[in-house]
Chain A
């Protein structure tokens, strides 16, 4: 049954995408570890981490596209789930530092010693174990999304109002995490990581390992999302997006469907955040900022809402542009991003993949018209 379900998602588009990801999973490690540092083919550790970061964002965009593109829930707070997953991973990495911190305390992270805390807060227990942290990476964003969605969807909050509440959610979390007494490192967040699963987090081989893990996570996320949207459940989701009350009169409890997609999407975002943190080496409350969530929406819009692969493409392209712009013309980046959003909304309402699909439709139809005149004579 599971195989049949997963096979649903394996169409031609999935084939192309998985092939590209497989290529990355082989090429990047070879180029980073198997070439001499002065070779033209060499990838520096910095580049590997950068690529890994793009793919984490791609997973976040994929999660967002599942709810925005297919259920019509425009979340302006998806970075909240991403960041919570990141914090869960960050807490594990902090506990791994052990006595190697500046203050040399074997149990307490540096910032707690600095704040003069005597013992570990209860919610930090268990995070010295990787398996525990890994569960929390999925569970915490998932539980928050479930509770949030339960109330919002049952009260039938939709459209702009729902978007505004999601924005408020991430803003509230940002303010809370900025506070030192929350016990998450306040302003500075969590950083100075040393090891992950016993491997040196700075080592080139570890970075490559993290990159490959991200590729795998993205591939799994894509197949899962793609299978879901191809199943009957996916058809119900699209129906909810287009005519929710009609779906109710068919006997579907639309709240449950929205809750399912919403919670799953938050879990995926959490995984993305967890993979992001060891690759960039820091997590702090600014990741919760409303702007991060809005940027994710732009990635999806640029790539093509409701296409899944488009979300991945959009996230990678926009972030590549961001890296380039912020290095070359730092003061222009925000204008470029804003302009991009306006241009896409005006001229590419279905994003890059939508444009590609349009072009493809136009070409064969020309051929079809050319072949048809014989039929049309009689009309």
Chain B
């Protein structure tokens, strides 16, 4: 497949921190509309991969193209976000001093320049969209609550809701079910699968049950590069992957 047909194209991306190679010539292709799970032991470079895609970290070498044409390595976080790449962090990061509604309003796709926000008024369409997201994430009864007072699981959902409000073409989701109960995990899997229809999603996750529930193509990272790729059953049977996970 050529770079033009991909939504996200990483080729030979390397990053070092003080001599430690967090990413080692990583190559990865994501197709439009695809959902991909990324697994790998601690220190495999999963979070660093998200950092280089979203502009938080600059790669030392390598190419990162969005929609086959935009070079992300030269851009800053806000610019990349406005291209249509949204990110959910490992630890839920919401604006704790704002209400649930305001969190969604801030994330909602709208002009991002200061003077535009100064004179912004919630339009009827915006209101409908926020209501919709409140329903999807089941936060409707808590819309006026301060985000800081939500439970851990609710914060995770609010953050997913913020991603929906942003309406990105590609969502990067870092460990969405960490610290969730089984019921919440199941609901989150359903939520992500709903989203995957309209957007491309990359999910980083440790929880194998959750990854199985998603039922998508899996990429295994190890020491900053791709070790194996395929269905979860295929990669689980891969001898190299077993060795890495068992620490041999």
**Are B86 and A1 in contact, with the CB atoms below 8 A?**
no
Bound Cα distance from A252 to B93, whole angstroms? 16
Instruction: Say yes or no: is A249 at the interface (Cβ < 8 Å to chain B).
Output: yes
> Who on chain A is nearest to B148 by CB?
A242
Instruction: Say yes or no: is A187 at the interface (Cβ < 8 Å to chain B).
Output: no
Q: Which of B94-102, B196-204, B207-215, B237-245 contacts A (4 or more CB under 8 A)?
A: B94-102
Known contacts: A239-B98, A245-B56, A249-B81. The answer to whether A256 contacts B93 by CB under 8 A is: no
A contact face: mostly helix, strand, loop, or mixed: helix
Known contacts: A231-B120, A249-B86, A250-B107. The answer to whether A260 contacts B114 by CB under 8 A is: yes
B132 to chain A, nearest CB (A): 19
Instruction: Say yes or no: is B181 at the interface (Cβ < 8 Å to chain A).
Output: no
Known contacts: A5-B119, A256-B114, A260-B114. The answer to whether A238 contacts B97 by CB under 8 A is: yes
A interface, how many residues as a size bin? 20 to 34
Question: Given the complex, which residues of A lie within 8 Å of B118, measured CB to CB?
Answer: 5, 228, 231-233
Bound Cα distance from A247 to B78, whole angstroms? 8
Question: Given the complex, which residues of A lie within 8 Å of B231, measured CB to CB?
Answer: none
Question: Given the complex, which residues of B lie within 8 Å of A251, measured CB to CB?
Answer: 78, 81-82, 112, 166
**Are B117 and A236 in contact, with the CB atoms below 8 A?**
yes
Indicate the member of B87, B121, B166 with the most A CB atoms within 10 Å: B121
Instruction: Report, nearest first, the 10 A-B pairs whose CB atoms are least far apart.
Output: A251-B81, A248-B77, A251-B82, A232-B120, A233-B117, A233-B118, A232-B117, A253-B78, A239-B95, A246-B93
**Are A248 and B95 in contact, with the CB atoms below 8 A?**
no
What number of A-B contacts does a CB cutoff of 8 Å give? 74
Known contacts: A235-B105, A260-B114. The answer to whether A252 contacts B78 by CB under 8 A is: yes
Chain B count of residues within 8 A CB distance of the other chain:
30
Contact of A235 among B81, B87, B96, B106 (CB under 8 A): B106
Bound Cα distance from A256 to B118, whole angstroms? 13
Known contacts: A232-B105, A236-B117. The answer to whether A242 contacts B78 by CB under 8 A is: no
Indicate the member of A228, A232, A235, A238 with the most B CB atoms within 10 Å: A232
Give 9 CB contacts A-B under 8 Å.
A232-B105, A235-B106, A238-B97, A239-B95, A242-B97, A245-B77, A248-B78, A249-B81, A252-B78
Instruction: Say yes or no: is B10 at the interface (Cβ < 8 Å to chain A).
Output: no
**Are A249 and B77 in contact, with the CB atoms below 8 A?**
yes
Sample of 10 more A-B contacts, CB < 8 Å, known A233-B118, A233-B120, A238-B95:
A235-B98, A235-B102, A236-B117, A243-B93, A248-B78, A249-B86, A250-B162, A253-B76, A256-B113, A260-B114
Indicate the member of A251, A253, A257 with the most B CB atoms within 10 Å: A251
Question: Given the complex, which residues of B lie within 8 Å of A231, measured CB to CB?
Answer: 117-120
Instruction: Say yes or no: is A254 at the interface (Cβ < 8 Å to chain B).
Output: yes
